[in-house]
Structure 1
Amino acid sequence: MNDVLIDIPRIYTGLAEWLACIVYISILKKQLKGWKLFSFAGAALFIQAAFLVLTKDLPIAFWIPAMMIAIGMMFFLIYISCDITALDAGYYSVRAFVAAELVASLQWQIHYFFAANGEVDMLLEFVLLVVIYGFLFIIIWLIEKRYVPKTGKLNIRHRELWSTVVIGAAVFAISNLSFISAGTPFSGQYATEILNIRTLVDIGGLAILFAYHIQLYDLRVRHELKAVQNILQNQYEQYQQSKESIELVNYKYHDLKNQIIALKAEVDPEKRKSFLTVMEDEIKSFEAQNKTGNHVLDTLLTSKNLICMKHGITLTTVADGTLLNDMDVIDISTIFGNALDNAIEYEMKIDDEEKRLIHVSVFEQKNFLMIRIENYFEGRLELEEGLPVTTKKDTFNHGYGLKSIRYTVQKNDGVVSVNQKNNWFELKILIPKLNKKIIL
């Protein structure tokens, strides 16, 4: 090389890697907060910088293993600081590493430009470091925070992580190829060329990773919207099926009632009374007893009550269904269908049948429609974005029942709240009534 290449000081590289981690930690859901996060991050900065400085003079054969350990430290910092999965932490660690490579490379390229035209004093070097690092990492933060879910979790899968790792590894290999060998078609021979190659490849790599991230983010959004729409449609179809089933059952009721009339002609009074009592008790188990004033709500409550009786769950209702008469059928089936399905699913896990309790209330309060669905609850309620965290392992495909309820309510200016009171889980929906039209 004709120019003398001064490599990036390791302490600058360590600072860039640490700051890149801090950028992503600031926009992800935190596990450490306050002084704990401050202390842990401070210790991580010292260890990261010290490790890179101490490994500066190792033989080239140890360069890649040392960089892998550095990335492992970045992973550890993000994973411990944030309430995310290991796959998410690995994904963001790769992206942070490429971002750090770009920032450190660009800063040192500008530093080298001034150094080539004369000595760079300590003050100018410090100013360049603060201004460039600060500006670039703030830009990265502003861009990245727009494409992180409100939960702070992306729920990365193995295939997506490995795709990111491959991209990151390719970017690192090509951008640093000139340091290993100058005899390749992709290597530079002079300091300026090497710095240009490294910076441009890092820019391209970060852009590719960001484009891939946007694609993953959009896929998550579309998946969630599709899941919500499927739930809405499924609830409506369940309502239609329940309506048809209950109509058939009610048809049978009339037949049984006619039989009762005939049986009343039985001569033996005791036998007749006993037989009639049995038949009437059986009828009560299937008769559509919910008469709230809204046929959709009656159908849903009856259908769910049959399931409750099958599993020893007591479902009680105090509802003025006429308040729902202006509401869309799909909205009613979505709200009550999903809410009752969730309550029934939980109550089936309760060992003591006497504690398997669900209560539904529908009433008017100060020109608002109030829907309150409660069920017996044991344990501690964990909320995320105001909704309970799903207990199913497959978080990618589950947890959309309450989201669909909130989606239905919010699209029409309603509000949803979830609370735990002693041993009761309470889902409360407040809906404004305007011009006799219920806006959900």
Structure 2
Amino acid sequence: MLNLPIVTLMGIASVIGLGDTHFNKRALTHVLSSMTIIAAIMASSIWFELSLISFDTSSTSLEAPTSQLLLGIFAVLWCTRWQQGIYICVWAQIVASIFSELVDLLSMLASDVAQPVLRIVLSIVVCIPVYWVCRIWLRPVFVMPESRDEARQKVIFAFIVAVIFILLSNYQLIFLLIGSREHSLMIPAFRLLTGTLSLLALYLQNDIDRRQRVRTELLTMQQLWETKRSQYEISKQTIDLINRKSHDLKYHIAAFKAMNEKQIVDGAFRNIERSVSMYDSSVHTGNPALDVVFTEKSLYCESQNIALMCMVDGKQLDFIDPTDMYVIFGNALDNAIENVKGNADVNKRIIQVNVSGRGNLIVASVRNYCDTPVALIGGLPKTSKIGEAGYHGYGIRSIQYTVEQYGGAIKVDVSDNTFTLQMIFPAPMP
């Protein structure tokens, strides 16, 4: 019946559709390596089918475990992580079994002579929809955690589902249940039901995990929002105090200079005045919240030899809550500063910020030099902070979440050694 090779072939299509491969698909050597692995797996499945498995004996119980083993080997070799490979091979086995039983049901409509040929042809053709179902429908809900502990839990759950599926889809059990060893519609129907329920269990597990992950991210971003709100209040008070003190101190220096005309004292006072002026570097954008953010960051940029260039019409953003403003631009500038401050070329330590109205939209952008490659995951950059991969990545996500609260969206562009974060808001109705 060639059940094992058919399920294995569809399983390979499922693995390719679900998994991220470490093979370079454009490199000829990697293409040849992939084809060699697939050919070896298929040859093994055919050998097992012809040598060890017979529909008339209890050896049919070896079919599902053998298929799972072969798909597991292929998935581990194909995928970037072995845990992902093991988890995907369970999905692939179940998806392949479902489509295999559908093919079996369709082929039974033909005559006994045409059934074997029709089944082989349909199995090869069906590999294309199998791939697209996995790629378009199942892959978006497929979640494999970065954490080893979470990944291990998902693999254990998948292993339990696989064991139950293998036991329930065992031909010997089905023969016992229906009381006959003849090949009838009951066999593919029962196996189809078993596969569907197993796939549903895996799907629900991923859906629950995804919802929990989203809930955790929202809680984390809320905590970050509260932290930023506190930082905003502290920064506002600190900057106001520094501005008042520096303003008063400059007047005291000027008055003292008028009473003492010695040249050496004048030079000393000029040096003091220049030092104090650095702390009087308030930025005026027309928006008090933006003024606090840019003044705070400009002081830090000054100490790091970073040029912060602002062309900002702050009044355009008056509809944004001050704390949200601090979250958006504070995180954006923190990311830009982190990116450029390590650049050995001081001329490339430049950050440009623009905020302007364009028709019915308000566009804000933060641009900086970026000489190192930036990996984008889902359109967002992967964290570059060593040791804080689980935390710093929420910076851009916090920006995205906050911008979306105002009906806006963000866009990340990395090109020509430049990193640009663009935030687009719909202009409020007058």
TM-score band by shorter chain is 0.7 to 0.9
Q: 1:307 to 1:352 in 2, by over 3 A?
A: same
Counterpart position of 1:95: 91
Which among 352, 357, 376 is matched to residue 359 of structure 1? 352
SS where residue 191 of structure 1 aligns? coil
Distance 1:212 1:86 in 2: 20
Correspondence 1:210 to 2:203: yes
| Secondary structure, counterpart of 1:318 in structure 2 | strand
In the alignment, the residues of structure 2 paired with residue 428 and residue 110 of structure 1 have an alpha-carbon distance, to the nearest angstrom, of: 52
1:337 aligns with 2:327: no
Residue 121 of structure 1 corresponds to which residue in structure 2? 112
State the alpha-carbon separation in 1 of the partners of residues 132 and 226 from structure 2. Answer: 39
In the alignment, which residue of structure 2 is the partner of 1:21?
15
The answer to whether 1:160 aligns with 2:171 is no
Q: For the structure 1 residues 357 and 21, does the alpha-carbon distance in structure 2 shift closer, same or farther, using more than 3 Å as the test?
A: same
Aligned 8 A contact 2:83 2:152 in 1:
no
The answer to whether the 8 A contact 1:235-1:333 is kept is: yes
CA deviation after TM superposition for structure 1 residue 342, in Å: 0.3
In 1: Cα distance, 2:319 partner to 2:65 partner: 67
Partner of 1:4: none
Q: Shift of residue 207 of structure 1?
A: 2.7
Change in CA separation of 1:133 and 1:305 when aligned onto 2, cut-off 3 Å: same
Q: Which residue of 2 aligns with 1:52?
A: 45
| Counterpart in the other structure of 1:404 | 398
Equivalent position of 2:56 in the other structure: none
Matched, 1:422 2:393: no
Match of 1:281 in 2: 274
Question: 2:229 aligns to what?
Answer: 236
Number of the residue aligned with 1:306:
299
Q: CA deviation at 1:349?
A: 2.4
Residue in 2 that maps onto 1:269: 262
Distance 2:11 2:32 in 1: 17
Cα shift at 1:41: 6.8
SS across alignment from 2:413:
strand
CA distance in 1 between partners of 2:417 and 2:310 (Å) = 19
1:246-281: CA deviation from partner (whole Å, max 9, x where unpaired): 123234225424532552353343244234213312
Query: Would the alpha carbon gap of residues 209 and 156 (structure 1) be closer, same or farther in structure 2, given more than 3 Å must change?
Result: farther
The Cα of 1:288 is off from its aligned counterpart by 4.2
TM-aligned CA deviation for residue 352 of structure 1: 3.6
> 1:300 corresponds to which letter in structure 2?
V
Q: In terms of mean alpha carbon deviation, does 134-143 or 364-373 score higher? A: 134-143
RMSD: 4.3
Mapped partners of 1:100, 1:195: distance in 2: 13
Moved more, 205-214 or 193-202: 193-202
Q: Distance in 1 between matches of 2:361 and 2:106?
A: 63
For residues 172-183 of structure 1, the aligned pairs below 5 Å read: 172-175=165-168
1:212 and 1:73 mapped to 2: Cα distance? 24
Question: In the TM superposition, what are the counterparts of 1:63-212 in structure 2 within 5 Å?
Answer: 67=67, 69-76=69-76, 78-79=78-79, 85-104=81-100, 121-127=112-118, 145-146=136-137, 148-149=139-140, 154-155=144-145, 157=147, 158-175=151-168, 191=181, 201-212=194-205
How far off is 1:296 after superposition? 0.7
**Offset of 1:65 from its aligned partner?**
8.5
Q: 1:173 to 1:325 in 2, by over 3 A?
A: closer
Normalising by the residue count of structure 1, what TM-score does the alignment of the two structures yield? 0.75
* Identity value in percent: 26
Length-normalised TM-score, structure 2: 0.77
What is the Cα deviation at residue 70 of structure 1? 0.1
CA shift in 2, pair 1:385/1:191, >3 Å: same
2:221 equivalent to 1:221: no
For residue 5 of structure 2, what is the aligned residue in structure 1? 11
SS in 2 for 1:326: coil
| In 2, Cα distance between equivalents of 1:428 and 1:127 | 55
Measure how far apart 1:374 and its partner are.
1.8
AA paired with 1:123?
A
Change (3 A) 1:276 1:368: farther
Paired residues in the alignment total: 415
Give yes or no for contact 2:361–2:425 (8 Å, CA) kept in 1.
Answer: yes
